[in-house]
Chain A
Amino acid sequence: SAVISQKPSRDICQRGTSLTIQCQVDSQVTMMFWYRQQPGQSLTLIATANQGSEATYESGFVIDKFPISRPNLTFSTLTVSNMSPEDSSIYLCSDRHQGSYGYTFGSGTRLTVV
């Protein structure tokens, strides 16, 4: 399975600012996803990152708030924009290889907005 490097691992940010989270995969993958995990909760899909085109967002998540880039098959970024304390959460990237059933997760970014 792929190895995903995610950074930063944690950050404390001021409200109104933005944070960009990066994920790098060690081999080419078909699909990359971004999840949010609020404290004590399950994982909620934010969007599917599409290579070279706009991400596909889930209900309740919009591009202006969570812009996503995926310039190639091994790298993606998620930006949390104009942050408020409600954005405090863990953000995780995930991937799946072509023809494979398994999904792998990055180590997560613990974001605290003050």
Chain B
Amino acid sequence: GENVEQHPSTLSVQEGDSAVIKCTYSDSASNYFPWYKQELGKRPQLIIDIRSNVGEKKDQRIAVTLNKTAKHFSLHITETQPEDSAVYFCAASNPLGSGSARQLTFGSGTQLTVLP
């Protein structure tokens, strides 16, 4: 099955700086890579996702890059703000595949703290 590794486990940045979180996956059949933000006591919220047919996707201050050859993808947050502080999870799946490939496999999470 799929295995997703995420680094770092904690990340502190100054407000206005950039934050980068990296993930690797093991199953070359995975083709969908979402990122979730989870604030304390709340459900995971999708913040951006990327499919394997593109190498980069951007939405305002958030961008995700994907390197299929190396099987890694990264989340980039620019101009960080205190409200970006949360736990971020990467995940991988093949939603339209068969069997267990359709499941979302999560990374271990990154606690991001943005210091004012």
Contacts and interface: CB of A to CB of B under 8 A. Distances in A.
B34 A42 contact: no
Interface of A: 31, 33, 41-45, 48, 92, 94, 96, 99-108, 110
B61 interface: no
Contact of A48 (B42, B103, B108): B103
A103 B89 contact: no
Nearest to A107: B43
Contacts of B49: 101-102
A101 B101 CA distance: 12
Interface string B39-50: 001111110010
The 6 closest A-B pairs by CB, nearest first: A105-B43, A42-B106, A43-B106, A101-B95, A42-B108, A101-B32
A43 B105 CA distance: 8
Contacts of A42: 89, 106-109
Given A42-B89, A96-B95, A103 B34 contact: yes
A105 B42 CA distance: 10
B68 to A, nearest CB: 16
Given A102-B49, A103-B34, A92 B107 contact: no
17 contacts: A33-B103, A41-B108, A41-B109, A42-B106, A42-B107, A43-B44, A43-B104, A45-B104, A45-B105, A48-B102, A101-B51, A103-B95, A103-B104, A104-B46, A105-B43, A105-B44, A105-B45
A99 B102 CA distance: 12
A26 to B, nearest CB: 16
B53 to A, nearest CB: 11
A33 B104 contact: yes
A47 to B, nearest CB: 10
Contacts of A96: 95, 102
A103 B96 CA distance: 12
